[in-house]
Amino acid sequence: MSSCNKNPKSETRNPKPGEWVAILDFGSQYTQLIARRVRECKVYCEIFSHKTSPEEFLRNKPKAIILSGSPATVASPQSPVCSREIFELGIPILGICYGMQLMCKVLGGEVKSALSREYGMASLTVDKKGNLFSGIERKLVVWMSHGDKPKKLPDGFQAIAHTRNCPLAAMKNEQKKIYGLQFHPEVVHTPQGGKIIGNFLRKIAGCSGNWTMKAFVEDSVRTIRQTVGSGRVLLALSGGVDSSVLAILLHKAIGNKLVCVFVDNGLLRKNESEEVVKKFKERYHINLIHVNARDKFLKKLEGISNPEEKRKIIGREFIRVFEKQARGIGRIKFLAQGTLYPDVIESMSPFGGPSATIKTHHNVGGLPRKMQFELVEPFRFLFKDEVRQAGNELGLPDAIIWRQPFPGPGLAVRIIGDVTEERLAILREADARVEEEIRKAKLYKKIWQAFAILLPVRTVGVMGDERTYENVAAIRAVTSKDGMTADWAKLPHALLGRISNRIINEVKGINRVVYDISTKPPSTIEWE
């Protein structure tokens, strides 16, 4: 995340659309999933800390408030709580797991520790359908994850569903439009969970579900024009999905008042530099400055094998190059960044939850405070798939919209050990074969990322009648929704065979290929 954000205006949240939903985060690993489910119902939402004051919601009234789960227990004095006044705002509320237990306790009911923790699949019986369970089967599979459960409901509430181990698995106060679920409707393990959330949003909260990417793009164009005025905007264009869609959105809004800087650091994929320049300068006629800084970056990386040190070196050198270009351009008031919602959640942990910073994100990380730009971050509250939808609305081709994520430090963090021109050349060729075969198999859109890694070991092989002693390449392919979690892709064996065969036979310097079958967590997607 950028550290040049000094202007208080740049720290405020996006203006809310006509209808929106607030999600209070109590530290659940599933909070982001709640947001995704709400967005899938075409309702805009944002995640807030559980410490957010009622006055915040009175100023810009949401159509509903959803209380997330939590790893905490309501019995603990240190457990996270929200203001009791939240329940007196007259706004429909849905409490999920811990959220239900908390509202039960705060509103005068009783919660007890379960004799045995209920975790995993459970069979739920709906006792009273009403609006929340409208169109839902009376018996359904749900996902439980709790150690506490309600013993007595607050006055005015009634039980509406139960499981074998939990007589009070859902509750409602129809008059106040306050509902609670002991299970997690947001996870895929609750097959009808999306419909339950949709019922709450439409039938109880009265949401029309009119938030679309078309509306987002139109609103963003207006907002950017109003914000920028006669000023100019600087954007570091990488050629990835986020910065590419942002460049087109900004160009649509302010035309040549946008200045894009593309830095070729020598750590890009095969033909990437030429493709970026051709697309944006020649096709879209964007004001693009192309900086060839390959030699500078590679010289700084000589002899460096520590992954975090690589990142720091690349980040510092990028700042130097970027600053030099910024000074040469003249007066620039705004800096645009393709920051996404997962970046905000992972890097900054602003919601009072337990999420930790795993590694630095590289949108335009660490720009110095003295630059004093005002930030323009239209995607700050969007997920990756929503950015792709925005790109589609802007008419971008699939080649840009569906481009797989690529790390800011580039191939430097896919070469384990020293980064040299020779090793980069080997990895570029291997990586190109991976992408070509994945595309031929028509799996490119279905896979979150697929790439090669060059390992710092050599193995013995035989090619023709000769003994070889060359590098090992690892293949990493994962499926994911937004990169927060990921599973290794179950690629067909025949496809893996073709990839291995092509790399070994066509890329000089590699004689062995292995496949990474690790999930995130505990592993990360990138190796460094």
In tens, the pLDDT along 271-292 reads 999 999 999 988 999 999 999 9
Q: Distance between CA 39 and CA 387 in Å, rounded?
A: 13
What confidence score (pLDDT) does residue 149 get?
82
Handedness of CA 269, 362, 12, 59 (dihedral sign): positive
Q: Is residue 48 within 8 Å of residue 56, measured between CB atoms?
A: yes
Q: What average pLDDT does range 344-372 have in this prediction?
A: 46
Residue 10 confidence (pLDDT) above 60 = no
pLDDT at 368: 53
As a whole number of angstroms, the distance between CA 496 and CA 480 comes to 19
pLDDT, residue 345, reads 66
Angle at 118 between CA 113 and CA 123, to 5 degrees: 130
Separation CA 468–CA 430 (nearest Å):
18
Do residues 6 and 369 touch, judged by C-beta distance below 8 A?
Answer: yes
Query: Tell me, what's the pLDDT at 361?
Result: 39
Query: Cα–Cα distance between 157 and 281 in angstroms, integer?
Result: 62
Distance CA 519, CA 523 (A): 6
Confidence class for position 7, pLDDT limits 50, 70, 90? very low
pLDDT at residue 465 in the model = 63
Instruction: Report in angstroms the alpha-carbon separations of 287 from 230, 235, 236, 322, 384.
Output: 16, 10, 12, 16, 25
Residue 194: pLDDT above 90?
Answer: yes
Instruction: Judge whether residue 126 has pLDDT over 80.
Output: yes
Give me the phi and psi of 353, to 5 degrees please: -90, -175
pLDDT at 177: 97
* Residues shown for the chain: 528
What does the pLDDT read at residue 354?
34
Rounded distance between C-alpha atoms, residue 370 and residue 447, angstroms: 40
CA angle 203, 34, 219 (to 5 degrees): 80
pLDDT at 300 over 50: yes
What ranges in 290-395 are assigned the alpha helix state H?
294-300, 307-329, 341-343, 384-393
pLDDT tens digits, one per residue of 436-445:
999 999 999 9
pLDDT value for 497:
98
Task: List Cβ neighbours of 223 (8 Å cut-off, separation of 6 or more).
Answer: 15, 378
Radius of gyration of the chain (CA): 26
Spatial distance between the Cα atoms of 234 and 254, rounded to a whole number of angstroms: 12
- Backbone phi and psi for residue 241, each to the nearest 5 degrees, phi listed first: -60, -50
Average pLDDT of span 185-208: 95
The C-alpha torsion from 337 through 343 and 347 to 353, rounded to 10°, is 140
pLDDT grade, residue 429 (50/70/90)? very high
Helix (H, G, I), strand (E, B) or coil at 423: helix
Asked if the model's pLDDT at residue 366 lies above 70, the reply is no
Write out pLDDT tens, residues 91-116. 999 999 999 999 999 999 999 876 55
How far is it, in rounded angstroms, from Cα 169 to Cα 504? 57
Q: Residue 469: is its pLDDT beyond 90?
A: no
Q: What is the rounded average pLDDT of the residues 205-217?
A: 92
Distance between start and end Cα atoms, the chain = 18
Q: Which of 141-155, 359-373, 380-394, 429-443 tops mean pLDDT? A: 429-443
Q: So which residues are the catalytic ones?
A: 97, 184, 186
pLDDT at 259 over 70: yes
Q: How far is CA 409 from CA 54, 110, 298, 361, 421, in A?
A: 42, 52, 12, 10, 15
Any idea which residue has 């004001």 for tokens? 287
* Confidence (pLDDT) at 370: 58
Q: How far is CA 407 from CA 60, 345, 373, 528, in A?
A: 37, 18, 24, 10
* Letter string b/e over residues 136-146, b meaning 16 or more CB atoms within 10 A of that residue's CB: beeebebbbbb
Q: What is the pLDDT of residues 214-251, one digit of tens each?
A: 989 999 999 999 999 999 999 999 988 999 999 999 99
CA-CA distance, 488 to 525, in Å (whole number)? 9
pLDDT at 484: 72
| CA-closest candidate to residue 220, choices 252, 242, 257 | 252
Of 28-32, 64-68, 430-434, the poorest mean pLDDT is in: 28-32
Helix (H) or strand (E) holding 478: strand 466-479
Distance CA 163, CA 32 (A): 26
Q: Give the per-residue pLDDT at 53.
A: 93
| 118-122, 175-179, 381-385: least confident range | 118-122
Question: Model's pTM, two decimal places?
Answer: 0.77
From the centroid of its chain, how far is CA 183?
A: 24
Q: Is residue 5 pLDDT above 80, yes or no?
A: no
Q: Nearest-5° angle of CA 335, CA 340, CA 344?
A: 95
Mean pLDDT of the chain: 88
Please, are residues 266 and 409 in contact by the beta-carbon 8 Å criterion? no
